Structure 1
């Protein structure tokens, strides 16, 4: 679809933005294993799933262990689900592990065990959305797809839009602007995707942007406007006392013990200390356990004991 000329204000020097970000990235890019030229597309796909709402420092050891154990989609596709959930460990949002295994099975069935490069084929895999498909196509295969995550949205909102923070949901206008900012050269486009993402992660952060270290500071519309505060303050995610905390504690208990008697699960979870001072009421406990069972993250055998699905 053609990008409207108004997607980027005429005052923005796009080539200057490209040069500034790419020069900065060439010097400051973190040495991450999924960025290595030797990393297979499967490794890139695994990293993208693991990095969703999870910091790099937590992902690195899990990523290495995962690729050592299941170096190809076929290896993961054939693995017992209980092993997959156990190996996911404490990365959080464990449904991602199930979706990753489902994607691996689909890759084996539809693509001969090779991760496809085409973004439409990637989007057709279980659990793979627009962002992940674009990221894998770009970072694993060098295709000039537009990659827009939270970090990219924030950098563009500030540098081009003059906003402190983007809105809570990605809009079509944001995507048009991101498309318009993409370099035409495929190699520079790939580096631009990674560079803007890295800039948002390391410098142009949500709460404490280091504008004094930013390569775009002298061209940033937000800085030029006096760095106005956001229209809506960023919200942290509540944890203590939430269903997420309870579900995570149940998963951790089953991961540690392997199999827990049905009438003892609640006591095991509380004794593990993962809930702190919180004690879930009957309604919350039943809701969380039922949700884990419905999501396929937990199974109950004929004796009523809980374990990971086999």
Structure 2
């Protein structure tokens, strides 16, 4: 399949211009994109947005930034406060990692988010994507930002395939690097624009090709929109350990403290299990996992959030 290296400079420029012009008109007005948003606000948004849609993140992000407007504020908070404020964003270990990262920033960087991508990657819970995103969006350092949305746009527009591979490949990263605009400002805006295009138009299941600024340049459309090599499936939820863990966390969040012997009744009261009835093995596995992950504390015969 074609690669970015095969695109002429003129073709790359047309692609950049089309996406950036579209972004100028259609970019969502999100608070972490504001010029006065702090690097900490950008970092919080990037952690919250992992596997979580914008509509669910917005109210939590605003509350979070009002309560803990800088890393030192979060580092000093109790774990119970942090997990309660995380509310229903899901994957609550992210909240713990974010607090650990805040503590590390206080210890290593004077309570500030470091601009250096290597220093960002050294923080707890910060991987390649988050480090690149914070460097680019908070500090204007043109690191190559590649998430699922970016991968999908480039796979279709450049390689002519319906969907990217299940896991990120070196070839994809090579293409993404090669396609970065040379101009620093343009490159950082490109990172945001191509991500937005994937989120709003070039979606996985129902791409709105007629609304896409790359319609006439898209290799996938030119190839007749061939079916992808694999069919994406949403993550299972009903009956999973994730569902039960979330219900247990909700019960503790609402009550503050749940007697060990009453945890099943408390979980039933949240109405978050639907018709699912966990067996004994699932209860044991999920409760043990929450304790091992540091998300729950068992003391004096009851479950609560850690102090």
1:181 and 2:193 equivalent?
A: no
**SS state at 1:8 partner:** helix
Q: Identify the residue that residue 24 of structure 1 maps to in structure 2.
A: 22
Number of aligned residue pairs: 305
CA contact (8 A) 2:3 2:158 kept: no
Structure 1: gaps spanning 5 or more residues: none
Q: Deviations over 1:92-126 (max 9, x none)?
A: 00000000000000000000001000100000000
CA contact (8 A) 2:3 2:159 kept: no
Q: Identify the residue that residue 88 of structure 1 maps to in structure 2.
A: 86
CA contact (8 A) 1:103 1:127 kept: yes
- Aligned-partner Cα distance in 2 for 1:161–1:177: 10
Shift of 1:7: 4.7
Runs of 4+ in 1 over 4 A off after TM superposition: none
Q: Deviations over 1:150-206 (max 9, x none)?
A: 000000000001010001100111000000000011100011000000000000000
CA contact (8 A) 2:155 2:162 kept: yes
1:307 and 2:304 equivalent?
A: yes
Q: Identify the residue that residue 157 of structure 1 maps to in structure 2.
A: 155
Structure 2: gaps spanning 5 or more residues: none
Q: Identify the residue that residue 240 of structure 1 maps to in structure 2.
A: 238
- Aligned-partner Cα distance in 1 for 2:140–2:25: 20
Q: Identify the residue that residue 283 of structure 1 maps to in structure 2.
A: 281
- Aligned-partner Cα distance in 2 for 1:304–1:232: 48
- Aligned-partner Cα distance in 2 for 1:196–1:150: 11
Match of 1:212 among 205, 210, 213: 210
Q: Deviations over 1:4-39 (max 9, x none)?
A: x96532368111101001111011100000000000
CA contact (8 A) 1:146 1:179 kept: yes
Question: Aligned ranges for residues 43-54 of structure 1 at < 5 Å?
Answer: 43-54=41-52
Q: Deviations over 1:227-252 (max 9, x none)?
A: 11111111111110000000000000
- Aligned-partner Cα distance in 1 for 2:165–2:255: 42
- Aligned-partner Cα distance in 1 for 2:188–2:8: 25
Q: Deviations over 1:62-110 (max 9, x none)?
A: 0000000000000000000000000000000000000000000000000
Question: Aligned ranges for residues 105-254 of structure 1 at < 5 Å?
Answer: 105-254=103-252
Match of 1:97 among 95, 98, 101: 95
Q: Deviations over 1:117-155 (max 9, x none)?
A: 010000000000000000000000001100000000000
Q: Identify the residue that residue 297 of structure 1 maps to in structure 2.
A: 295
Match of 1:8 among 2, 5, 9: 5
Shift of 1:274: 0.9
- Aligned-partner Cα distance in 1 for 2:149–2:52: 13
Q: Structure 1 length as normaliser, TM-score?
A: 0.97
**SS state at 1:160 partner:** helix
- Distance of aligned partners of 1:6 and 1:150 in 2 relative to their CA distance in 1, 3 Å threshold: closer
Q: Deviations over 1:41-64 (max 9, x none)?
A: 000000000000000000000000
Shift of 1:282: 0.5
Shift of 1:272: 2.3
Shift of 1:211: 0.4
